Amino acid sequence: MAITLGDTEREALWRKEVRQFIDTEAPAALRSGSEEFEGSLFGRLGAIKEWREKVAAKGWIAPSWPAKYGGADMSVVDQFIMNEEFAESGVPGNVGGFGVMMIGPTIIEHGTEEQKSEHLPKILKGEVIWCQGYSEPGAGSDLASLQTRAVRDGDDYIINGQKIWTTGAQYSDMMYMLVRTDPDAPKHRGITYLLVDMKAPGVTVRPLTQLSGAQGFNEVFFEDVRVPVKNRIGEENRGWYVGTTTLDFERSSIGSAIGVRKQLESLIRQAKSGKGEASFTRNPKVKSEFVDRWIECEVAKMLSYRVVSMQVKNLIPNYEASMCKLFSSELSQRIAGLSMHLYGMHGNVRNRAAMGYMQAVSSTIAGGTSEVQKGIIATRGLGLPRG
């Protein structure tokens, strides 16, 4: 049976529309290869804000949400094409953040009408920044072992405990989190899903400094934090099933696959320039590494295509999505290693190569460790027994 990777006529028109929107509306500072605002954090943040407003005005801020809740109600293929074009151009794809990707769809699926009316419009307008409170010091890969407690007290829950690796918590207004409400129940039960105001008394955020010096993750402590019962999503003690609901149709990781290729292309331009220490002129031995990495970038893209082709057929990618995540995240580390090889001893200086190398360390941890992904592939893909 022949396999066609090209667009249909309708898909080609949609791709053209997305490209034209990017060409006319995307700030130059965000596009691939742009030198504008380089080194200026405030300039880039301003450009991201401008881009978010333009995507929202176009009605594309929440691609998968139903139209009645303000979403674009896009098909799987339309989402894929839009994400692919955004990634190819280098502009941010998920400008709606966790609000659009995670908590918004969860509220749509499991929330009350009052909760939808209160939270969904604010998410679409970007008025509230959300973070996720899942992982704990003793409950990362085995999330169901979480111990942060919430005790019912009249119309409130009182929370005590700690979350960790909370992305962007220091900038967030709200957190969606899992807490244990029945310590005697089996660990996958007795868990409740709550929405917490990050400015509530008793909430303390402590940023974690990474190898690169960045502070993307945080510890969050809860000491007698009161949360109204009306902020519960779904039933008490049934939060595990709310929290694990897969609502985001775009699971192909096409943005990651293209992102690593963009990194490689940038490195190739540097290597071919003949300028500075990071060039083929100074270090010709790395050419074969570039060939290997380029082939792997194509493999990553094909894995993404496999996932979206399953979704088009109303199949649910499981181990296939894990293969995408595992391969792309480990590839990003190999490309970071290639950058260090290209720079040679100059890679030990705190430069672009060194920063990228240190930042790549977390890629096989965030979003599910490589060990977790391999376990899913082994048991669900290969049918091997659980070890």
Residues with active-site annotation = 250
Strands 130-133 and 174-180: parallel
Q: Is 256 helix (H, G, I), strand (E, B) or coil?
A: helix
The dihedral through the CA atoms of 14, 259, 27, 34 has a sign that is: negative
Residue 228 contacts residue 213 (beta carbons within 8 Å): no
The structure tokens listed for 189 are 């039960």
Nearest to residue 266, comparing CAs of 243, 285, 290, 282? 290
The structure tokens listed for 311 are 């979704």
In DSSP terms, 227 is beta-bridged to: 157
Other beta carbons less than 10 A from residue 182's beta carbon: 14
Residue 333 contacts residue 360 (beta carbons within 8 Å): yes
Residue 75 contacts residue 129 (beta carbons within 8 Å): no
In DSSP terms, 160 is beta-bridged to: 149
Report the C-alpha gap between 121 and 241 in whole angstroms: 25
The structure tokens listed for 380 are 């669900």
Cα-flanking dihedrals φ and ψ of residue 64, to 5°? -90, -10
Query: Which burial class, exposed, middle or buried, applies to 61 when counting CB atoms under 10 A from its CB (0-12, 13-18, 19+)?
Result: buried
Largest CA distance in the chain: 72
Residue 176 contacts residue 102 (beta carbons within 8 Å): yes
Amino acid, single-letter form, for residue 258: I
Residue 87 contacts residue 255 (beta carbons within 8 Å): yes
DSSP one-letter code for 377: I
DSSP structure string for 166-188: -TTGGG-SEEEEEEES-TTS-TT
DSSP one-letter code for 139: B
